[in-house]
Structure 1
Amino acid sequence: MKVRRVSLEQLLKQLENSRMSSDLGKDILSTYDILRGCPFDRNEAASRIILNNAKHPGILASLSKGSRQHPVLPDSDTIPANEIRSRLNLQFQELCREAASVLGYALEEA
C-alpha cells in the first residue's frame, strides 16, 4: 500500500480543521502558535519544550539520537532565544512526523 505524502501546511490545516482532540494534535498546534508568536516568548517556548519532553518521550528519544540537537533545557536562562526557538522547532517537526504517521501519511521534507 502506497503512503500518501503530505506537506507540513496540509497536515496543519487538517489538524486545525478536524480539531484533532488528541493530546498530540493539541500539542502540535500549541507548539506552532508559540513558534509563530511575535514577539517570540522564550519563557513560554522553554516551558513548552519541557512539557513536550514529558508528554512525548518518544520524540525526546528520537531527537537525542544522531546529530540532532538535544531538546532538553538544563538551564533555559542561559540559552539564547534563537537556540530555544531552534530546539522547539525540532520538536515541532518530530511531533508533526508522528501525527502524519498516526494519520497514515508520510510528511514531505521541506
Structure 2
Amino acid sequence: MVVLQVELADVPQFYFVLFLVVLVTIAMGSFVVYQAYRGYRRHDRRQMLFLAVGIGLITVVPPLLAITVASVGLRMNLSIIVYTYHVPLAENVIRILGLGFIIYSLSLPSRST
C-alpha cells in the first residue's frame, strides 16, 4: 500500500479556503438540523423531523460526500469520471431527496391545538 504524503507547503492556499468553507457549511447545516430535530422532540411534530432530514440532506451530506470521495479517491487512484460525473450526480440526487423531504414536511397537515 502506498501512503500518500503531501507537504502542506505544496498545497495551494485556495484549497484551504475551499476546505474551510465546506467545513463551515457542514457545521452551520448541522446546527440547523439539530435545531429542527429539537423542535421535533419538543413539540412532537413530524413536520420538523422531515424538515431536519431534508435540510441535512441538502446541507450536510453532499459536502461530506465530496470530501470523502476526494480523500479516498486520491488513495485509490479513481478515474476522473468519478469526480466529474458520479459525485456530482450523487450530490444532486441527494439534494433532490432533501428537497422532497422539505416539500413533504411543508405539505403535512399541522395539528390544531
TM bucket, shorter chain: 0.3 to 0.5
TM-score (normalised: structure 2):
0.33
TM-score (normalised: structure 1):
0.34
Structure with the higher helix share, 1 or 2: 2
Which structure: larger Rg? Answer: 2
